[in-house]
Amino acid sequence: MDITKTEFNDRYYEILKGYVETHEEIYLMRSEDLGYELVKFNIPPEDIIELHETAVSRLTSELPPKRMIESVGFLSTPLVEVMMAYGLAFRQWIEDLEKSRRELMVYAEELQHSNQLKELFADILRHDLLNPASLINGFVGILLELEDDEKKRSLLSNIEKSNINLINIIEQAAEFAKLDSVTGLDFSEHDLGVILNNIVDEFIPEFEKREMTISLETEGSYPVLVHPTIKQVFANLVSNAIKYSPGGSHVEITISDSDDQWKACVKDQGSGIPEEDRELIFTRFSRLDKAKKGSIKGTGLGLAIVHKIVTLHKGSVGVDSNFPEEGSTFWVRLDKAQAN
């Protein structure tokens, strides 16, 4: 049965209004369901942006100005969930299309068109979502400079933090969508020890801010054939070690010989990860049990990107944890240059 544009608008408005007023995750789950239906009924991504803008305008006319200011940080969250679910459903549709092509010998032009749509989806994430989020950030910054009331400044600071987190999610989602259409990379020889030392240097200010320490011992050279994107893998792992470890703790990075591979490890002192969650954390669209408060934080996009890049390098990635004790060790195995 077909569904009208008005029905879609009304459903999204109820989701947005419900989340703004209650902040309950049930509305985010409904956003995901809506994202799947938008793909099912062939609704293009640009119409989703229009749907969001219409709902925001409607909500603005109903809520008092003070309430709208308090809700700025929550307005885009349902939209991100819709777009992420749209991306998953769209990716599933592409996978089904590829399977049908193999079974029914569908023309190669359809697959090429699908890849173009993936790139279009990534561009929409970067521009149509990132631009309004950046504008919100700019307005909040101006308000912070003008506001003297401490209570209001605290509220604006919370909005700023939430919006920065939203911007990070959008950027990571776009990066993941872009990587998802990549089938191969061009490699050149680099020293894994040099790569890790450079990344550690970049994060020194973050470690100092949280009064944390880091150690990295390297001996000799560690030649690997890699693409520049491999830097993002270790930057994400080090960033997570800082984010999810207590202040004043220590992060240890090691490189060890593993036959025809190098094994790089990032060991933190954060809360452990249950065994049943250790594979799921590398998959963005596999939601973990929300009842496990604190076991896994964030969207998982960073680790999904890590997994994708390492897979493109024909390597492997995983995590060992002392759960329920503190401490986790994320490891990456990459082929030695000589082995290739």
Name residues whose C-beta falls within 8 Å of residue 167's C-beta, 6 or more positions apart in sequence: 130, 133, 134, 137
pLDDT value at residue 18: 87
pLDDT at residue 330 above 90? yes
| Whole-number Å distance between alpha carbons of 127 and 70 | 25
Mean pLDDT (the chain, rounded): 78
- Mean per-residue pLDDT, 318-332: 88
pLDDT value at residue 174: 62
**Could you give the percent of the chain with pLDDT greater than 70?**
75
pLDDT value at residue 215: 94
pLDDT at residue 118 above 70? no
Annotated domain spans of the chain: 5-179, 188-335
Name residues whose C-beta falls within 8 Å of residue 19's C-beta, 6 or more positions apart in sequence: 27, 28, 31, 74, 77, 78
| Whole-number Å distance between alpha carbons of 125 and 75 | 16
pLDDT value at residue 5: 76
Select the CATH number that applies to the domain covering 188-335 from these four: 3.30.565.10, 1.20.1250.20, 3.40.710.10, 3.40.50.450.
3.30.565.10
pLDDT value at residue 83: 80
pLDDT value at residue 204: 92
pLDDT value at residue 251: 95
- Mean per-residue pLDDT, 51-64: 84
| Whole-number Å distance between alpha carbons of 8 and 271 | 41
Which sign, positive or negative, has the C-alpha torsion 187, 191, 192, 195? negative
In this prediction the pTM is: 0.53
Q: Lowest-confidence range among 70-74, 187-191, 204-208?
A: 70-74
Which two three-digit tokens encode residue 208? 């100092």
pLDDT value at residue 289: 44
| Whole-number Å distance between alpha carbons of 199 and 191 | 13
pLDDT value at residue 105: 53
pLDDT value at residue 48: 81
Residue 104: its H or E element: helix 77-104
- Position 106 confidence tier, pLDDT thresholds 50, 70, 90: very low
CB 157 within 8 A of CB 141: no
pLDDT at residue 195 above 90? yes
Q: Token match 């709902």: residue? A: 55
- Position 92 confidence tier, pLDDT thresholds 50, 70, 90: confident
- CA nearest 246: which of 294, 282, 279, 314? 294
Spatial strand order in the sheet of 328-335: 213-216, 250-258, 261-268, 328-335, 316-321
| Whole-number Å distance between alpha carbons of 78 and 283 | 20
Write out pLDDT tens, residues 164-179: 666 666 666 666 666 6
pLDDT at residue 284 above 80? no
pLDDT at residue 72 above 80? no
Residue 174 φ/ψ, nearest 5 degrees: -65, -40
- Position 263 confidence tier, pLDDT thresholds 50, 70, 90: very high
| Whole-number Å distance between alpha carbons of 204 and 212 | 9
DSSP E strands: which ranges in 99-222?
188-191, 213-216
| Whole-number Å distance between alpha carbons of 270 and 282 | 17
pLDDT value at residue 107: 47
Name residues whose C-beta falls within 8 Å of residue 269's C-beta, 6 or more positions apart in sequence: 245, 246, 249, 250, 251, 326, 327
- Mean per-residue pLDDT, 196-200: 93
